[in-house]
Amino acid sequence: MELTADNIAAEVSGMTPCIMVVEDDDSTRATLKEALKPLGRVVDFGNPQDALSYLDGHGCVDAIITDMMMKEMHGVEFCTQVRERFNRDFLPILIYSSFNDPQLEKLAFDAGANDFIEKPISFFRLQMRIQVHLQNKSLYDQLQETAQRDGLSQLFNRHAFLEHAAAEFKRAARMGYCMGLYLFDVDHFKHYNDTYGHLAGDKVIKLVAKTLKASFAREGEVIGRFAGDEFIALSTSPTPASVDAHTSKLAKAVEDIHIKLDGVKTRITLSIGVAILDMSIAKSANHVEPLETIKQLIEQADEQMYISKRNGRDQIHSQLIDQQLVQQGAGAA
């Protein structure tokens, strides 16, 4: 197939990719936008800070092209800030500059850029380079998707959950949001295996996973399979009250998990533990290590889940976590 701007988009597999253009000169930005349109959807920003806010607000992009010299923020600083959020394989960045300066180019790569081109920009070269980055990103996404999923439930596996949860934690901390960490354990799951067979047990796992996935499908929510019949989820919301509202909705969805086993409609019940962390009062939330804090929250949610078990199963117990406790724990780890 002849490689032209018009058929490049078709070359990039899957969904239409989204390219972010960051350039403070209006006319250059408009021109770049036009040049990149054949490759996918283009979102453009005159101020790098607005571009970062867009990424923080869950704006998904597949590649970034940015100028080096901008009034509000230097391209290298912008690149550094994007890298605090996303790694090089996940989100490629191409920086361009009118300065043919190897030192500056090195600075850009050191800050996490994937590519560098000099002005004046040849549109064809720009399109070809971005196309390569989009293809690499698409392959990376496919590999990640396979590596991150649990084969039976199709939810994130434990490792992937922690990775995604840490990213959501950082986002929530920046916004002073509240976070709910949920642990779920199927009640008497062994009974389904022992009575109806292992395949029936697998069906129960899949059904519970499907229900929980639907309850944690919003932006800022992550759901995974933690171990055998245990599931884990994280939800970020503006206030403790909004986390509580989500928990109530969740309780209703969980109440309605039914499955036919040997022709009999059977209700599956779960014991649930929730740890809630309010980061609006955590002045230093940005300095807390996300993974360590999430591990602390898991321990707290686990305690709550065991209270649910001890109290007769089929119930939810939650606790608002003392910020000091989590920070001390994270600091000691």
Query: Which residues are near Mg ion by CB under 5 A?
Result: 185-186, 189, 229
From residue 266 to residue 305, the character string flagging contacts with ligand GH3 as x (rule: CB under 6 A) and all else as - is ----------------------------------------
Our CB check for ligand GH3 shows the closer of 35 and 205 to be 205
Q: Does 186 bind ligand GH3 (CB under 6 A)?
A: yes
- C-alpha–C-alpha distance, residues 145 and 142, integer Å: 5
Q: Judged by CB under 6 A, which stretch of 84-92, 123-131, 135-143, 190-198 contacts ligand GH3?
A: 190-198
- C-alpha–C-alpha distance, residues 246 and 165, integer Å: 17
Amino acid (one-letter) located at 193: N
In the complex, least distance from residue 215 CB atom to Mg ion, rounded to whole angstroms: 19
Q: Does 188 bind ligand GH3 (CB under 6 A)?
A: yes
**Using the rule CB under 6 A, which residue among 24, 25, 163, 187 binds ligand GH3?**
187
**Using the rule CB under 6 A, which residue among 25, 72, 141, 202 binds ligand GH3?**
202
**Using the rule CB under 6 A, which residue among 198, 260, 283, 310 binds ligand GH3?**
198
In the complex, least distance from residue 230 CB atom to ligand GH3, rounded to whole angstroms: 8
Alpha-helical runs (H) found in the chain: 5-11, 26-36, 48-56, 75-83, 102-110, 123-148, 158-175, 189-196, 198-215, 240-255, 290-310, 323-332
Which residue from 180, 172, 165 is spatially nearest to 244, judged by alpha carbons?
180
From residue 128 to residue 167, the character string flagging contacts with ligand GH3 as x (rule: CB under 6 A) and all else as - is ------------------------x---------------
- C-alpha–C-alpha distance, residues 324 and 282, integer Å: 9
Our CB check for ligand GH3 shows the closer of 228 and 331 to be 228
- C-alpha–C-alpha distance, residues 71 and 229, integer Å: 54
DSSP structure string for 262-286: TTEEEE--EEEEEEEEETTS-TTGG
- C-alpha–C-alpha distance, residues 150 and 162, integer Å: 14
In the complex, least distance from residue 305 CB atom to ligand GH3, rounded to whole angstroms: 9
In the complex, least distance from residue 150 CB atom to ligand GH3, rounded to whole angstroms: 9
Q: Residue 122 carries which DSSP code?
A: P
**Using the rule CB under 6 A, which residue among 193, 242, 266, 280 binds ligand GH3?**
193
Q: Using the Cα atoms of residue 268, residue 273, residue 279 and residue 285 in order, give the sign of their dihedral.
A: negative
Judged by the rule CB under 6 A, the positions of this chain that interact with ligand GH3 are: 152, 185-190, 193, 198, 201-202, 205, 228-229, 309, 313
